[in-house]
Structure 1
Amino acid sequence: MELKYWIYKSHLEEGEKIFTVIHRHWLILKQKIWKVSTFGILPPVVLFYFFPKFWPVLVIWFSVGIFLYFVKTMEWYYDCLLITSIGVVDIERRGIFDNSSKRIEYESIDGVSYVIKGFLPTLLNYGDIVVDKMGSDIQINLQDAANPRKVEKIIMKHQEECMEKKSYVDHEALKGLLADMITTHVKKHGYKTARKD
């Protein structure tokens, strides 16, 4: 079993497979951890050099900084879209104990779009991805996703494959239903051919 299945298994249906995991752009992670690194990790290391007698306070400060660094990294990692065999799952994590997810199955997707707005997003190729659910106001939105054009194509490709498979299954089910109806009719009424001369 792959690591991604173990990490995201609580958000998956039984038998559902993950094709792709889409994260926010790495620049967003750097922005999140910059403050933690600047104010939580670097100062205690520098201050320890000048004031080694305050090591207990500096160790606590450094430990809190490392913990916050880990929390911010996990928030970034878990804020993602899962492209699965059934649909698109949006996972959002805000803090340690605040975790939510939304799902739109391929049959229910009304449209997929992306927005790249601004100089830096255009230069580094990141933007927002929006997946709309058919017949409702429900949307899945991943802000600052890396390579949104490619993500849109991936979602559309899997939706098309799913719809073709569903169409084939529906076609086979309809053929089976018609065959059963004809068999029942022949058993009940006999086989008669009506010919006009």
Structure 2
Amino acid sequence: MANDEVLPILKENETVRGVYHQFVLAYFWQWLGGAVVFLSPFFFLYLILKWGPTGQALLAVLLVIGLFWLGRTYRLWSGSRFVITTEKIMNISQLGFFDRTVSQILLDKINDVSYRKKGFWQTVFNYGTLAIQVSASPEKLVVKNIRQPAAVQQALLDAQEKLRGDRGQ
């Protein structure tokens, strides 16, 4: 994670306690699609190059599209993270190259933290959905495809306990 993106949001005495990414294979179909588009011209390289300039243009177009697709998938995965600090949580969702949503919730406003692992693959690869209930809000903050949801839940509860202990509550 690039701490320089999160540090301007932090208060003076606030520190980062944990940074969590989505499970990389949650983007399996995007990775596969980009890889197929990028690598497929190499399987047909001889045939494509026999077409002369048209084949070379097709080769270049497929390579650029494949690289763009893989780069976009990487950007979505690397830009989306869940951050726990000493005072709050931040859910940073990268939705596109130039589209990012940042949600912040103070730790003392959190009522409940639960997680769910649904299905065979989430159980085997240990990833799932984290649901955070905030006081004075009927909706939950949902973080999908988070790696090791039980550890993230415990880290969040530990940060909340530490904050309460520091404030003497």
Distance in 2 separating the partners of 1:145 and 1:68 = 22
Segments of structure 2 that go 5 or more residues without pairing to the other structure are: none
User: How far is the alpha carbon of 1:66 from its aligned partner?
Assistant: 0.4
Percent identity between matched residues is 21
The one-letter code matched in structure 2 to 1:21 is V
Alignment partner of 1:48 is 2:49? no
1:107 counterpart residue number: 108
Cα pair 1:128 1:142 within 8 Å, conserved? yes
The one-letter code matched in structure 2 to 1:17 is T
Distance in 2 separating the partners of 1:8 and 1:66 = 28
TM-score norm. by structure 2 comes to 0.88
The one-letter code matched in structure 2 to 1:140 is L
Determine which structure has more spread, i.e. the larger CA radius of gyration: 1
Cα pair 1:45 1:62 within 8 Å, conserved? no
Alignment partner of 1:36 is 2:34? yes
TM-score norm. by structure 1 comes to 0.76
Paired positions, count: 164
Higher strand share: 2
Which of the residues 8, 23, 43 maps onto 2:6? Answer: 8
**Larger relative contact order (C-alpha < 8 A, sep ≥ 6)?**
2
Task: Note closer, same or farther for the CA distance 1:122–1:4 as it changes in structure 2 (3 Å cut).
Answer: same
The one-letter code matched in structure 2 to 1:8 is V
User: How far is the alpha carbon of 1:13 from its aligned partner?
Assistant: 2.7
Residues 98-156 of structure 1, C-alpha deviation per residue, up to 9 Å, x if partnerless? 21111111111111100111111111111100111112124321111111111100000
Partner-residue secondary structure (3-state), 1:30: helix
1:26 counterpart residue number: 24
What RMSD, in angstroms, separates the aligned Cα atoms of the two structures?
1.8
Distance in 1 separating the partners of 2:59 and 2:159 = 51
Distance in 2 separating the partners of 1:96 and 1:160 = 37
